[in-house]
Structure formats: C-alpha cells, structure tokens
Amino acid sequence: MTDKNLVLGGMLYEGKAKQVFTAGDGDLVLIHFKDDATAFNGEKKGQIENKGVINNRLSARFFRYLETEGIPTHFVALINDRDMLCRRVEIIPLEVIVRNIVAGSLAKRTNQAEGTELGEPLVELTCKDDARGDPLVTKEEAIAMGAASTEEIDRIRTLALQVNEKLLPFLLEKKLKLVDFKLEFGRDRDGNLLLADEISPDTCRFWDTETGEKLDKDRFRRDLGGVKEAYIEVWNRIGDFRSSET
C-alpha cells in the first residue's frame, strides 16, 4: 500500500471513503482512499471503480495548488495512487459548505430552481453527525456545542471563502463550474487551522460550463449513470492521469 521507507502504525479511523493510519513519528498520517461510495448519510451504498485513485490524486492536485495560493493544508506528499501523507490534525466536528449556485438541499430548503446563481457565495456550517443528517448549525450554536471558538470559526469562514476565490477561476479554465463544495478543517499540534479531508467529485459539485452536465457524485446519488466516466472526465481536465506528478 505504501512507500517501503514509510513506517505505518495502527489505523486511527475508518470512514465511508477513507482509512487513516499513523505514520512516521506520529505527527503524520497516511490517508488511504477507498472505492466505496455512499450517499444520503450512508443510506445508499455502492462502489465506483478507481474512485479512490482519482480522488486521492485530485485532492493532492488541489491541495498543492491551494498551498501555492497561501491556503494552509494538511497535505505533505502523494505516496502512490491511493495513499497520501498528511500532517496529523484534530478534525473540527463541522462541515463547511460554500455555495455559488443553488443545488441539492439548498434548492429544497429555499424553493429556488436548481442552477440559480447566487449573488455572492453562501457559507453554511453543518454538524458532523450522520445519525442526525448533518444538521445545519449557526455560528453561535457551533460555539455553544464546543466545536470551535469564535476566532476559529471566523478563520474557517475566511479560509473557506479564499478557497472558493482561488478554485473558481482555476476550474473555469478547465471548463468546470464550481457549484458548491464541502470542506473540513483540523488543528495541528500547535493549534494551527489546516484545510483537511479531501477535495474531489465526492465533496464538490462540478458542472460542465457549456452543457451543464453533472460531473460529480450527484450522478451516483441520483442514479444518472456514467459515474466512473464523470470522475475520470474531471481528472482528465485537470492533469495527466498517468503521471506520478500532478
């Protein structure tokens, strides 16, 4: 699974799409990307061939790009097709959603047509709790539940909007419209906030700028077919799938 010189410890966590192992001196982790696919908080399950490979390499590509743009991330190195080395962080139990266009749950909640452009990006916080359907929480509620401090939530919002600002033109060059996306953040051992988790068609809605075709996990959620092909198409627009460097 990993580079022969990398010493692995035990598994720290296994989620729906990834496994996390201790690595090196304990300040690093190895993240292994699986092909498992889930939707609706785990109610729908399946597999997408080579999804783990694509999401690992896409996430590495995005993290590298964002680092060059001044966004601090947990990414350290791409180890192989399915594994990346990252700084160990304590994940903040909030999901941060940035929306540029009405889609998914926002369309249902606001009774707006999917595809409606928002005047400015909308940032939402949800509680990481599958059993309760990852409910929306306000900033004040997130602070009250002890998820993060006022300063951390303000910093998270600033970083999320910066990620959006950097990714929008980057993706438009690839003829991809960034509809919305989910981010997670964590604290390193010094308390610094780092962008963590992944950035991929699992966590973002990508639409073709010309046809409006969905090129993300909505194809799995909505039984649209062509799921594997959509993931590959996103990768093909961003870099050479066969290359060891992206």
Taken as a whole, the chain contains a residue count of: 246
Rounded mean pLDDT, 80-90: 96
What does pTM read for this prediction?
Answer: 0.92
**Is 129 a residue whose pLDDT tops 80?**
yes
Per-residue pLDDT tens over the stretch 177-212:
999 999 999 999 999 999 999 999 999 999 999 999
- Which pLDDT score is estimated for 80? 94
What is d(CA 31, CA 18) in angstroms, rounded to the nearest whole number? 7
Span 144-160, mean pLDDT?
97
**By the 8 A CB rule, do 59 and 32 touch?**
no
pLDDT digits (tens, 9 = 90+) for 101-123: 999 999 999 999 999 999 999 99
From the list 56, 79, 75, the residue with the least C-alpha distance to 66 is 75
Asked if residue 20 lies in contact with residue 8, where contact means CB atoms within 8 angstroms, the answer is no
Residues of the chain with CATH 3.30.470.20: 91-227
pLDDT confidence band for 4 (50 / 70 / 90): low
Residues of the chain with CATH 3.30.200.20: 8-89
State which fold the 8-89 domain adopts.
Answer: Phosphorylase Kinase; domain 1 (3.30.200)
Check pLDDT > 70 for residue 87.
yes
State the architecture of 91-227 in CATH terms.
Answer: 2-Layer Sandwich (3.30)
Mean local confidence (pLDDT), 54-59: 97
